[in-house]
């Protein structure tokens, strides 16, 4: 058996363990260009780009070096500090644990007590070095905006997962502009400006949009979010909410977090949208 076939079998076995193959063939394939990127071709087509969901042949973002890790970024005076290393009072009860002034993912998710509309969010995270678990848990976590829209956390310094699933991707929708990942064991940061969707009479009139900096590098600029995050599906806006919590997604890997803060925003809708909504 050649090495690529062996890798294919091992990855496929991992998917079976995860239960990701339930209800579909979950046929994992490698990119045609020989890059080693893996993903799916038996998934729906994303209508705005023409690629399959989790398509290995979607162009992979170029790699850039974001520079060395920096000290924690101090919160502005008007920020709501969600986690400063001391306690989890701003979060719902959780099995996650406090370790060395960080919170470490264990079972389940970490969800804020409060809900937010539009906001600026700062999150610092660290994927463990020398992780011994399976490939699909390597640095795997995620920042869910409104608890619905995921900015992916993953070890994309090493792992060649499908582009719309790599670190800083809007998972299952849009890859980052560049791969700005640092190696596991080094602190990384997301700075996220999120504009909440707007609905009128249960109809979407303004999709959510996001601008993201990964380790200080711009990776999304006013990017439309096409709906709630899912695996192997075309996203849609259901449920229709304009406020929601921040959710960090435990995924079998002890990813650590520190220094999380948020600034609520009240952006004005574009005048064209206001007129359309008024009509």
**Greatest extent of the chain over all pairs of C-alpha atoms, in Å:** 64
Note whether residue 27 is domain-resident: no
Note whether residue 101 is domain-resident: yes
Residue 7 pLDDT > 90, yes or no?
Answer: no
- Tell me what pLDDT residue 173 has: 98
Q: Where are the beta strands (DSSP E) in 68-197?
A: 80-83, 97-99, 102-104, 109-111, 118-126, 141-145, 149-153, 188-195
Q: How many helices (H) and strands (E) does the chain have?
A: 2, 16
- Tell me what pLDDT residue 66 has: 98
- Three-state DSSP class for 165? helix
CATH number at residue 252: 2.60.120.560
Note whether residue 115 is domain-resident: yes
Angle at 101 between CA 96 and CA 104, to 5 degrees: 25
- Tell me what pLDDT residue 137 has: 86
Residue 211 pLDDT > 60, yes or no?
Answer: yes
Under the banding of pLDDT at 50, 70 and 90, the label for residue 270 is low
Under the banding of pLDDT at 50, 70 and 90, the label for residue 14 is very low
Please give the mean pLDDT across all residues of the chain.
Answer: 89
Residue 279 pLDDT > 50, yes or no?
Answer: no
Number of domains in the chain: 1
126 preceded by cis ω (within 30°)?
no
Higher-confidence position of 23 and 60: 60
Note whether residue 269 is domain-resident: yes
Note whether residue 142 is domain-resident: yes
Residue 25 pLDDT > 90, yes or no?
Answer: no
Beta bridge partners of residue 92, listed in sequence order:
none
- Tell me what pLDDT residue 21 has: 34
The pLDDT tens digits of the residues spanning 212-249 come to 999 999 999 999 999 999 999 999 998 899 999 999 99
- The domain of 202 spans 80-278
CA distance 151 to 171: 6
Note whether residue 179 is domain-resident: yes
- Tell me what pLDDT residue 9 has: 37
Residue 191 pLDDT > 90, yes or no?
Answer: yes
Note whether residue 227 is domain-resident: yes
- Tell me what pLDDT residue 268 has: 64
Is the C-alpha dihedral spanning 221, 225, 231, 234 positive or negative? negative
Residue 6 pLDDT > 70, yes or no?
Answer: no
Note whether residue 37 is domain-resident: no
- Tell me what pLDDT residue 269 has: 58
């Amino acid at each position: 058996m050649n090495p690529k076939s062996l890798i294919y079998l091992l990855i496929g076995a991992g998917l079976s363990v995860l239960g990701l193959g339930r209800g579909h063939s979950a046929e994992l394939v490698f990119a045609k260009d020989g890059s080693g990127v893996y993903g799916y071709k038996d998934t729906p087509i994303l209508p705005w780009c023409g690629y399959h969901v989790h398509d290995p042949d979607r162009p992979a973002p170029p790699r850039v070096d974001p520079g060395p890790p920096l000290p924690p970024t101090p919160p502005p005076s008007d920020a709501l500090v969600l986690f400063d290393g001391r306690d989890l009072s701003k979060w719902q009860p959780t099995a996650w644990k406090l370790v060395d002034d960080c919170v470490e993912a264990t079972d389940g998710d970490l969800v804020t007590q409060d809900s937010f509309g539009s906001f600026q969010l700062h999150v610092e995270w660290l994927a463990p070095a020398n992780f011994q678990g399976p490939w699909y848990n390597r640095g795997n976590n995620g920042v869910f905006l409104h608890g619905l829209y995921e900015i992916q956390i993953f070890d994309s310094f090493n792992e060649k997962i499908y582009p719309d699933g790599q670190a800083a991707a809007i998972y299952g929708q849009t890859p980052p502009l560049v791969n700005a990942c640092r190696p596991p064991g080094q602190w990384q940061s997301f700075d996220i400006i999120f504009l909440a969707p707007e609905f009128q009479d249960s109809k979407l009139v303004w999709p959510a949009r996001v601008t993201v900096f990964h380790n200080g590098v711009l990776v999304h600029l006013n990017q439309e979010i096409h709906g709630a995050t899912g695996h192997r599906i075309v996203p849609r806006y259901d449920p229709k909410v304009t406020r929601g919590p921040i959710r960090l997604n435990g995924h079998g890997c002890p990813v650590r977090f520190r220094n999380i803060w948020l600034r609520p925003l009240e952006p004005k809708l574009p005048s064209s949208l206001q007129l359309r909504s008024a009509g």
